[in-house]
Amino acid sequence: MTTQRALYLRMAIGVLALLGLLVAIYLALYEVRLSNSLVCPNTGCEEVNQSDYVYMFGLPIGVIGVIGYSTVLGVTMAWMTRRRLAPTEPPLKRHSSAAGTGAGLPRRMGNVARHVLAAIPVSLVLVGLSGFGFLFSLFLSYLELFVIHAICTWCMISAVLMTFIFVLSMLAWLWGERLAQPIR
């Protein structure tokens, strides 16, 4: 059962993830050269987005942000209707014609994976994703401040959004765990 507080937290996380996705798309368009200008209140945005650190793992940072925020938004949207990653139905039975031939193995493996996923609370997955995003934002902020010596306003907005998403995800997970405990 979803409490009103949990629903509000989920909606807030979804809105913040959508805002972060829009910021990441804007930066990604500039980084992959589909946009020629970057509107920023200071000169640091262009300096940061033209530095050697704009590419990591072979991708522009903005594209990594799009992937990250899209994932958080997708998990949050799934969380709006489900509390676990997979349905908790019992495993499907093998057909008798497949008995002994090994033909049912992929279906059984799918059922095992579904039941493993069903044991993982979506709120905990969101804590992990947003925690990784938060740490990655801290690393990028460190690079801006101490290596590049310039501050990108859009990057700071993204870092603040990811920080709020992480805090709200932690609260939702902690409140969910506390609410799941029997009251004595």
The two three-digit tokens of residue 152, written as one number: 């990108």
Angle between the N-to-C axes of helices 4-31 and 61-79, in degrees from 0 to 180, rounded to the nearest 10: 160
54-71 residue pLDDT tens? 999 999 999 999 999 999
More confident residue, 28 or 7: 28
44-54 residue pLDDT tens? 898 998 899 99
153-171 residue pLDDT tens? 999 999 999 999 999 999 9
Q: 62 exposed, middle or buried (CB, 10 Å; 0-12, 13-18, 19+)?
A: buried
pLDDT of residue 172: 87
Structural domains of the chain in order of their starting residue, each with its CATH number: 4-88+106-179 (1.20.1440.130)
Cα 20 to Cα 102, 133, 156, distances in angstroms: 47, 11, 11
pLDDT of residue 182: 42
- Say whether pLDDT at 29 is over 70: yes
Mean local confidence (pLDDT), 71-92: 68
Q: What is the pTM of this model?
A: 0.78
pLDDT of residue 157: 97
Reported as a pLDDT band with limits 50, 70 and 90, residue 23 is very high
108-144 residue pLDDT tens? 656 666 666 566 777 888 999 999 999 999 999 999 9
